[in-house]
Amino acid sequence: MELCIDIGNSRTKLAFFKRDQLLEYHVAVNSEILKLKQIVQNSSFSTVKLCTVSQENSEFVQFLQEYTNLYIVTSRSKFPIQLDYETPHTLGLDRIMAAVGAFKLFPEQDCLIINAGTCITIDFLDAKAYFRGGNITPGLRMRARSMNEFTAKLPFVEVKDETDQEQLFGRSTNQALIKGIKNGVLYEIEAYYNHLQEKYPSINVVITGGDGEYLVNRLKFKTFAEPYLVLKGINQLQLDT
């Protein structure tokens, strides 16, 4: 059994795998990451594969280095996909792992990969297993917070489901903020899909991340939801010998 860990900007996800089968999953917000130490200490596994985009949580990483057989994913790791990217050393490891996870799900197929977390990443993996790049845009909560922090009067809103999904425009300031955030993200992703679908008519859309469930239920084309996409990508890595 192997342990795969994904430390994101906001949350840390931990999963135990036996080959390709995910057996057990745990999650903690990063401010409470040390709660995961007990789970690690009380479990039996051969190797830990760690992917992190955070420069913090050094105490947890140090614990893993001291008490486990730890492998830390880097831009120089061996991936089953090719990175067609000008600065691979700056490419987020979570984006690479999501692409590896999509490659496992849809080998030799074009994939649009949406990871809706603190930021939303929109990446393209072609059928030849080349990562062709992607874009980064603020996530739902980040958009809400930025409009509150960088204006004089706009309030911070919790981006919850509206009671009237069919209503296009908000009829109060709070509604206008919520609908502007949510519709903006949906229309943004739909534009990418429509553009790519003209050239790649059989393209798959794979969605993951904390806000992935919201997107899957509202986009107007077929999508595949995989909440464990990054972890499953990490699990696919062959360790250096």
Residue bearing tokens 């996909």: 81
236 near 104, Cβ under 8 Å?
yes
Report the C-alpha gap between 127 and 111 in whole angstroms: 8
12 near 36, Cβ under 8 Å?
yes
From first to last of the 241 residues of the chain, give the pLDDT tens digit.
Answer: 999 999 988 899 999 999 999 999 999 999 999 899 999 999 999 999 999 987 777 889 999 999 999 999 998 899 999 999 999 999 999 999 999 999 999 999 999 999 999 999 999 999 999 999 999 999 999 999 999 999 999 999 998 766 667 788 999 999 999 999 999 999 999 999 999 999 999 999 999 999 998 899 899 999 999 999 999 999 999 876 4
Strand pairing partners for 215? none
Q: What are phi and psi of 142, to 5 degrees?
A: -65, -40
Domains of the chain are: 1-72 (3.30.420.40), 76-241 (3.30.420.40)
Classify residue 154 as left (phi > 0), alpha (psi -120 to 50) or beta: beta
Q: Would you name the residues annotated as active-site residues?
A: 94
Q: Which two tokens stand for residue 169?
A: 């425009």
Is the full-model pTM beyond 0.85?
yes
Report the C-alpha gap between 146 and 28 in whole angstroms: 24
Report the C-alpha gap between 231 and 209 in whole angstroms: 11
Report the C-alpha gap between 188 and 193 in whole angstroms: 9
